[in-house]
Amino acid sequence: MIELRTPAEIEQMRPAGRFVASVLQATSAAAKVGVNLLELDELAHRMIRDAGAESCYIDYHPSFGASPFGKVICTSVNDAVLHGLPHDYVLRDGDLVSLDFAASVNGWVADSAISVIVGTPKPADQRLIRTTEEALAAGIDAARVGNKIGDISAAIGSVGKGHGYKINLDFGGHGVGRTMHGDPHVPNDGRAKRGLPLKPGLVLAIEPWWLETTDRIFTDPDGWTLRSRDGSRGAHSEHTIAITPDGPLVLTARD
């Protein structure tokens, strides 16, 4: 079911957005050579406890997950691009890390993701990350009253394909509110002027992601982490936004 939020409810979602942004700022800054993924998860977990927030991931068990997630942040490294389950891995120079985090504050959820390079950057990785961020900005700009879901999807896909990347449609953006995942689904490619009309009060997580040389993925033996079929690297960028009469409002904006 698609729910529209009142202006007062959107204001109530701001603390969740700010908190999710702060956790991603802290964990991305901590993602350095020699740091274990489990340390990043513990940092996020500690911030959740200190803020009195609730994790959206730790007990999460959708149909595509082998078991409850069991951790509080997704840490996808190199050829992993989504749903990376934190494990005993020490970050190395040149690793590309995507961090995806969602939490509930006062009953409202926000969801966001960022990709960063640990240590020495590779130009191809920088380009990969930059294009997901460019696509995210394009998708947000299209999230305006009078447009349709297809306008967001087309804007994202145009950027990705324009840079030569293939777009996987298995996973994409989604509605956000009292729970992390809700209707509508927001594919990362589509046709403009098609689909659900965008109305004030619709809150969405918009999340372009792609891999360097393929659009095919498989699930790691951990039952969660999604990796590229050909070993190429992936990047992921995401914000939770609210559609308002004055334009899109980014609830998870980072300083």
pLDDT tens series, the chain, 255 aa: 899 999 999 999 999 999 999 999 999 999 999 999 999 999 999 999 999 999 999 999 998 898 999 999 999 999 999 999 999 999 999 999 999 999 999 999 999 999 999 999 999 999 999 999 999 999 999 999 999 999 999 999 999 999 999 999 999 999 999 999 999 999 999 999 999 999 999 999 999 999 999 999 999 999 999 999 999 999 999 999 999 999 999 999 998
Residue 83 marked as a ligand binder: yes
The domain ranges of the chain are 7-250
3 is in an annotated binding site: no
Q: H or E stretch including 175? A: strand 173-175
Rounded Cα gap, residues 250 and 240, in angstroms = 6
Check the annotation: does 236 bind a ligand.
no
Beta partners for 205? Answer: 174, 240
Burial of 29 (0-12, 13-18, 19+ CB in 10 A): exposed
Integer Cα distance of 229 and 215 in angstroms: 8
Does 185 count as an annotated binding residue?
no
pLDDT score, position 208: 98
Q: For residue 193, is it left (φ>0), alpha (ψ between -120 and 50) or beta?
A: left
181 annotated binding-site participant:
yes
Select from 3.20.20.60, 3.40.50.300, 3.40.50.360, 3.90.230.10 the CATH code of 7-250: 3.90.230.10
Residue with tokens 């700010």: 18
**Residue 64 contacts residue 79 (beta carbons within 8 Å):** no
Q: Do 118 and 32 touch, CB atoms closer than 8 A? A: yes
